[in-house]
A and B are shown apart, each in its own frame.
Chain A
Amino acid sequence: QLQVQESGPGLVKPSEPLSLTCTVSGDSITSGSKYWGWIRQPPGKGLEWIGNMYYSGATYYNPSIKSRVTMSADTSKNQISLKLISVTAADTAVYYCARSPTSKYYFDYWGRGILVIVSS
């Protein structure tokens, strides 16, 4: 059974980078035509897609956040990473990692999410 787990600091200071890791177990991030995505949900608001990536490095970002986000993969650790720079309080959210089973970006496996608060 595939499992996805997000990890990282729960508190980040404004203007500092936010870095999260998604650890995948039960399958390889390199298997098949799987894509990996990050989605976030600010408190009291709806879900926002951040971006998707293929393990080889191809990335697809939401234009609204593209200038500040980088996604990468570490195949040796079976992990996907997210880095968001120049964070503000508006980046406070629950961040989810999820798998897209194909190049059609719906998500069939999600993590439970990690709350990241941006505050000094």
Chain B
Amino acid sequence: EIVLTQSPGTLSLSPGERATLSCRASQSLSSSYYLAWYQHKPGQAPRLLIYGASDRAAGIPDRFSGSGSGTDFTLTIDRLEPDDFAVYFCQQYGDSPLTFGGGTKVEI
């Protein structure tokens, strides 16, 4: 199965700064762009941010952007807002079984 490794484990930033999160696959996704990103806060349902590596989900502000293909993917959050501090995880859906990254915590 494809292992997704996210880095860093924790990102300490201030509101207004840019967050750059990495998701690396153990092998190239057979469907190069089948990578999604989610935001997860404690006690809440995970929220889809990005699918297809770079397509924003409905209602997601353009401060969130995704890029990459193959094995290396990035989620960028511009101008961090207080509500953005959460755990972010990636998921590949090009190969079975679907797999998830371990998550990056973005903290103040």
Selected interface stretch from B11-19, B20-28, B73-81, B89-97: B89-97
User: SS class of chain A's interface: helix, strand, loop or mixed?
Assistant: loop
**How many residues belonging to A are interface residues under a CB distance threshold of 8 Å?**
22
A111 within 8 A of partner (CB): yes
CA distance A63 to B98 in the complex (A): 10
- In the complex with contacts A104-B34, A104-B93, A49-B44 CB distance below 8 A: no
A108, closest chain B residue (CB): B48
B37, closest chain A residue (CB): A106
**How many residues belonging to B are interface residues under a CB distance threshold of 8 Å?**
23
Smallest beta-carbon distance A51→chain B, Å: 9
Smallest beta-carbon distance A58→chain B, Å: 14
Interface hits, A51-78 → B, CB 8 Å: 60, 62-64
Q: Which residues of A contact B (CB under 8 A)?
A: 4, 39, 46-49, 60, 62-64, 96, 98, 104-113
